Chain A
Amino acid sequence: MKTAQPTAAHQLCSCRVGPLLIGIEVLSIQEVLYHTGHTAIPRTADAITGLINLRGQIATTIDLRVRLGVEPSPDAELVHVVVRYRGEPVSLLVDEVGDVIDVDSDTFEPTPDNVEPVVRELLTGAYKLSDELLLTIDLDKTIATSNNRSTAARGPMR
């Protein structure tokens, strides 16, 4: 599931997250869902969109756009990319799912230093595609810290 250390050649599913193109390891993706109603969870960080019914299982939805601090694209489709996190399904909300891209580790670069620290923590690096950068993220970390208070202002408690 970790995308931290890319091997020589492997396949990433490209996902549009605002202006960014994020690559998620194909093998770690359980399924992709469109148009699924969700139930919001009050008192959680903004990145936690809510819960969805995944054929009887309950999956937590994390808005990758909020997580990565980007504005959703105007023509966003809202797609749930379901991955497994510590044995449970977690759905990552992205704007759009694109092609599966074969990437070559020769084109991989670690995350540049000038990326905003909050986001840089989650990025593991970038593949230089011919026309764009395909960023890879540390899924475990991204999911694990998505309900941290620092990532979003918490509503007044009482």
Chain B
Amino acid sequence: MDYDEEIVQDFLVESYEMLNTLDESFVMLEEDPGDTEVLGAIFRVMHTIKGTSAFLGFHSLETLGHKAENLLSLLRDGDLELSVPMADALLSTVDRIRQFLGQIEETGSDGGVETADLVSRLTGLAEAPVEATVAAGAIGGEPAVEAASPASSTEAPGFEPANAGSVDAGAAGADDAPIDDGSTEATPVPPASGPAGGDNGEGHRVGDILVDRHGVERVDVEIAAAEQGVGDTRKIGEILTDQGAAAANQVDAALERQKEQTAGNSSRRRSAADSTIRVDVELLDDLMNLIGELVLTRNEILQFITDTSDRALAMSTQRLDLLTSDLQDKVMTTRMQPIGSLWNKLPRVVRDLGHQLGKDIRLEMEGKETELDKSLIESIKDPLTHIVRNTVDHGIEVPEIRRELGKPEQGLLQLTAGHQDGHVVITIADDGAGINLDRIKAKAVDRELITADRASAMSDDEVVQLIFHAGFSTAEKVTNVSGRGVGMDVVRTNIEQIGGSVEVRTVPGEGTTFRIEIPLTLAIVPALVVTCADARYAIPQRSLLELVSVDGSAIGHSVEFVHDAPVIRLRDRLLPVVDLRRVLGEDARDEYVGDMVVLSAEGGEFSLLVDEIVETQEIVVKPLGQVVHEVEMFSGATILGDGQVALILDVIGLGQQAQVANSRNGGLESEGGSGEITLSASTAALESLLVLSMGGDRQVAMALSDVERLDEFRAEDLELSGHREVVQYRSEIMPLVDLASELGYSSTYGMDDRERISVVVYRHNGRDVGLIIDQMIDIVDHHQTEQTATGNLIIQGRVTEMVDAARLPSLAAIEAEYTLEEVGL
């Protein structure tokens, strides 16, 4: 509904604009009545107004426009020559259309404007014999203007009798027509609004004015109004004077005042044309840039002010600060556009494409009024269109297949948009086939994007992400719609470029949902300024979760290690730590001490170790030049308060770094996400774990169910078989494996002269293997759900790596050796 109103509003603005150009055209036409170009222009305007009003259902307006258009087309084609009456009639038409527009603006409908007289005049003129026309030369400038002016300035155009052609009852009827712009007489009761005491809806009732300003009793006014209500045709002022409740001069003064108020009111409520202007987007961009500079300057001044004791200066600065923020908000608002302006092109796209592919698709859109920055609208236009086209092409099945599957034949494509945490979230959902994960895997392997091994180990989510890979398309055939393998990667790149993200969820057979999240505006964002290796960097606050100080003490937070991968414990969760120094290519720090910024990127969380957190600041995002465009961990640059340039960190890029660090260094296969992934609740059973200390200060755990028994051997009982240490155990030879070095920890075994070797006996494929450990600490009961992506746990306040004994590399080797031996023997 709102949207229709918006269309009408656009129509009004446009029509007013066009009518204004018409005035000009008529003036030109009077100078040269034969100018077909001007006639053509007038014709086009009339045609457009007619067409649009027909579309919007304003039929009286349409009829009037149509008649005028007829006459104009005859003039344009030279079948008729412009005569004074014609000019009159056309100008009257223009005025009448203005009335229509005013009426539409006020009431939303085109009812109440009389057209019969003009329609018949126009019809008459178009059919009139040629003699009625005046020779073009005779019209000249003067007479036409004179003749036209009474028509164009007429108070009630309906009164103007037509000069030529047939005159019908229209003119007479216009007497009763409810057109009354109030300027001829201060009529307190417009006939249209009924007899209810001169109420014109805006509180300018004569009675009210009399009560307020002339000391007339309200009760008298109400009595008078009541009399009107029961059929007294006198005006309220007349009733009051007749009854002696008010003096005649009071009523006159009140009427005068009402007139003023009405005039003032209408000037306050500007018509659509007056209340909006069109502005070049470039100008808005310039304005935005200037605001950006202003924000920077404000920041600069704010920095000076912290060192000053001048109160007055501080006050002015504070005001400057507030004004700048307000101004910034306002300017940003000017750039806001409803997403509907982008979406309204989609029904056509879907319809055309659907037809072409023989699909029947219903498009539902919700949240069209959601506003976002114009530049963002531009940026998501192509990605959005691409996703929609893709969905129509690949997602939704043809009716026959849908019928077989028991789905309604008509496919459904739903678009929604809305605000969420300072972001705009757009979803594109279909009820089609969903993404075929197996086919994606096969294709990815086929294209050598991933290895077959990797494919089988990938989670569904990861597989879906492959569609964003460059050079990937699963379309069975390349259509002219999509399927050239360019696209989804471009979609993602485009969206990420504007600081957004795109996710895809799919349920085979039920459909696919794309979720695009983009910031409201690009230009100015709040950011956290940090230092690292003597340089300052800005981190956009939208991805900031919290700040943690790492002092290395036992009480505070400290960085722990899973193999070489640093992690931090935060309220019983483990987060990977990314050292900004390392990311920036600086020398890694000796100890992990500094400030931590916990960030969220694409669903995963990680903790960024910086040297120091400086402050938060509003920054103006400026793109990095084209020269250095491809540096993935910076999303741009900004100028700080002191005029120095600082780089803006790209959190998503950093997150990817964190993930790489994980999968490279994590001994146990990471589940891909940089954050944690909890196991599903169904496996939330209790399990007993054997907790061991390892490599001096590390802690590992293995499932007690894997442990056959714990034993100790004297060091001198160990023997060598080949290159492997063995021990005689229960009349068998048991190979020994040093768990610490197996897991990649620094092993203390062999370094110290321990007399007794602690061994966990693990039964592997019917054969005992001894795992040499440093020390057993405890056996604990543990919920399996507490496991994290990196396979780490927190046990007794320490990060503990879970060991899956079956996956230790040496076991496979041992098995191979013994199998060979057995075969050989």
| Chain A contacts to B: CB under 8 angstroms | 37-44, 48, 50-53, 56-60, 62, 85-86, 88, 90, 143-144, 146-147, 155-158
Per-residue A-contact encoding for B633-661, CB less than 8 Å = 1, 0 else: 11001010001111100000000010011
A51-B627 in contact (CB<8A): no
A56-B296 in contact (CB<8A): yes
19 contacts between A and B (CB under 8 A): A37-B644, A39-B535, A40-B535, A43-B584, A50-B645, A51-B647, A53-B639, A53-B644, A56-B292, A56-B296, A58-B624, A58-B637, A58-B639, A58-B645, A60-B624, A60-B628, A85-B626, A143-B627, A158-B582
Residues of chain A contacted by B584 (CB below 8 angstroms): 42-43
A143 CB → nearest B CB, Å: 6
**Contacts A43-B633, A48-B627, A60-B624 given; does A38 touch B296 at CB 8 Å:** no
Question: Which of A42, A57, A90 interacts with B627 by CB under 8 Å?
Answer: A90
B625-A60 in contact (CB<8A): yes
**Measured between alpha carbons, how far is A125 from B181 in the docked complex, in Å?**
79
Residues of chain A contacted by B627 (CB below 8 angstroms): 48, 60, 62, 85, 90, 143-144, 146-147
B633-A38 in contact (CB<8A): no
**Contacts A88-B626, A158-B660 given; does A42 touch B582 at CB 8 Å:** no
A39-B626 in contact (CB<8A): no
**Measured between alpha carbons, how far is A51 from B535 in the docked complex, in Å?**
12
**Contacts A41-B631, A56-B293, A158-B582 given; does A51 touch B637 at CB 8 Å:** yes
Complex: chain A residue closest to B620, CB-CB: A56
A84 CB → nearest B CB, Å: 11
A147-B647 in contact (CB<8A): no
Residues of chain B contacted by A43 (CB below 8 angstroms): 584-585, 631, 633
In the complex, number of A-B residue pairs with CB atoms less than 8 Å apart = 76
**Measured between alpha carbons, how far is A86 from B627 in the docked complex, in Å?**
10
- Does B714 belong to the interface (CB within 8 Å)? no
Residues of chain B contacted by A62 (CB below 8 angstroms): 627
Residues of chain B contacted by A158 (CB below 8 angstroms): 582, 657, 660-661, 664
A59-B625 in contact (CB<8A): yes
Complex: chain A residue closest to B296, CB-CB: A56
B698 CB → nearest A CB, Å: 22
**Measured between alpha carbons, how far is A85 from B293 in the docked complex, in Å?**
22
Complex: chain A residue closest to B665, CB-CB: A158
| Chain B contacts to A: CB under 8 angstroms | 292-293, 296, 535, 582, 584-586, 622, 624-628, 630-631, 633-634, 637, 639, 643-647, 657, 660-661, 664
Complex: chain A residue closest to B627, CB-CB: A60
Residues of chain B contacted by A155 (CB below 8 angstroms): 585
Residues of chain A contacted by B626 (CB below 8 angstroms): 85-86, 88
Residues of chain B contacted by A48 (CB below 8 angstroms): 627-628
Complex: chain B residue closest to A144, CB-CB: B627
Question: Which of B296, B645, B664 interacts with A52 by CB under 8 Å?
Answer: B645
B328 CB → nearest A CB, Å: 16
**Measured between alpha carbons, how far is A158 from B663 in the docked complex, in Å?**
12
**Contacts A52-B645, A58-B639 given; does A41 touch B628 at CB 8 Å:** yes
Residues of chain A contacted by B660 (CB below 8 angstroms): 158
A147-B664 in contact (CB<8A): no
Complex: chain B residue closest to A59, CB-CB: B625
A51-B296 in contact (CB<8A): no
**Measured between alpha carbons, how far is A42 from B657 in the docked complex, in Å?**
15
**Measured between alpha carbons, how far is A39 from B293 in the docked complex, in Å?**
19
**Measured between alpha carbons, how far is A53 from B643 in the docked complex, in Å?**
7
Known: A51-B624, A58-B637. 10 other contacts (CB 8 A): A37-B644, A39-B644, A41-B647, A52-B645, A56-B639, A85-B626, A85-B627, A88-B626, A147-B627, A158-B664
**Measured between alpha carbons, how far is A51 from B631 in the docked complex, in Å?**
14
A88 CB → nearest B CB, Å: 5
Residues of chain B contacted by A38 (CB below 8 angstroms): 645
A35 CB → nearest B CB, Å: 13
Residues of chain A contacted by B646 (CB below 8 angstroms): 39
**Contacts A51-B637, A60-B624, A60-B625 given; does A39 touch B645 at CB 8 Å:** yes
Residues of chain A contacted by B633 (CB below 8 angstroms): 43
**Measured between alpha carbons, how far is A48 from B626 in the docked complex, in Å?**
12
Residues of chain A contacted by B628 (CB below 8 angstroms): 41, 44, 48, 60, 147
**Max chain A Cβ within 10 angstroms of own Cβ: one of B296, B622, B625:** B625
Residues of chain A contacted by B293 (CB below 8 angstroms): 56
A113 CB → nearest B CB, Å: 29
Residues of chain A contacted by B630 (CB below 8 angstroms): 147
**Measured between alpha carbons, how far is A87 from B231 in the docked complex, in Å?**
76
**Measured between alpha carbons, how far is A86 from B643 in the docked complex, in Å?**
25
Complex: chain A residue closest to B629, CB-CB: A147
**Measured between alpha carbons, how far is A116 from B585 in the docked complex, in Å?**
30
Residues of chain A contacted by B639 (CB below 8 angstroms): 53, 56, 58
**Measured between alpha carbons, how far is A56 from B292 in the docked complex, in Å?**
9
B631-A90 in contact (CB<8A): no
**Measured between alpha carbons, how far is A57 from B637 in the docked complex, in Å?**
10
B631-A156 in contact (CB<8A): no
**Measured between alpha carbons, how far is A14 from B428 in the docked complex, in Å?**
58
B635 CB → nearest A CB, Å: 13
Residues of chain A contacted by B585 (CB below 8 angstroms): 42-43, 155-157
A58-B622 in contact (CB<8A): yes
**Measured between alpha carbons, how far is A62 from B625 in the docked complex, in Å?**
11
Complex: chain B residue closest to A45, CB-CB: B628
Residues of chain B contacted by A60 (CB below 8 angstroms): 624-625, 627-628
Instruction: In the A-B complex, list the 3 residue pairs whose CB atoms are closest, starting with the nearest.
Output: A155-B585, A60-B625, A42-B584
A69 CB → nearest B CB, Å: 18
Residues of chain A contacted by B657 (CB below 8 angstroms): 158
B631-A44 in contact (CB<8A): yes
**Measured between alpha carbons, how far is A52 from B631 in the docked complex, in Å?**
17
Residues of chain B contacted by A52 (CB below 8 angstroms): 645
Residues of chain A contacted by B661 (CB below 8 angstroms): 158
**Measured between alpha carbons, how far is A58 from B296 in the docked complex, in Å?**
13
Residues of chain A contacted by B645 (CB below 8 angstroms): 38-39, 50-53, 58
